[in-house]
Amino acid sequence: MRTNVIKSILPKDKGIGALSVVLCGFKPDAILEKFKSYDAVQDAIQNEFDKDNRIRCETKSIWPGFCKTILDAVHFLKQFKDGQEFIA
């Protein structure tokens, strides 16, 4: 169900990849420079994709957790200098 909630606001032909527009092409440095909080991530996603106000912003909703996860994942990935080091 969570996947469907996230995908429900994204263009069907692009799926989760559509978030690259908001998330700086999925470049960790750029994401951390642009977003200082998960609220900022959520606002950017909402402004880009949620024209019908379907994103629920309550603390225990799926979207705040998803946006927190984005920033947590970026902080995790930043400890590796490149993809090869991550895989090793």
Express each pLDDT in 44-76 by its tens digit: 999 999 988 888 888 889 999 999 999 999 999
**Residue 39 pLDDT greater than 70, yes or no:** yes
User: How large is the average pLDDT for residues 10-18?
Assistant: 92
**Does residue 1 carry a pLDDT above 70?**
no
Residue 44 φ/ψ, nearest 5 degrees: -65, -45
Are the beta carbons of 53 and 44 closer than 8 angstroms?
no
Q: What are the residue boundaries of the structural domains of the chain, listed by start?
A: 2-87
Q: What is the pTM of this model?
A: 0.87
**Which pLDDT does position 64 carry in this prediction?**
93
Q: Provide the pLDDT for residue 52.
A: 85
For tokens 């998960």, what's the residue? 38
Count of other CB atoms within 10 angstroms of residue 82: 8
Rounded-to-integer distance, Cα 63 and Cα 45, Å: 10
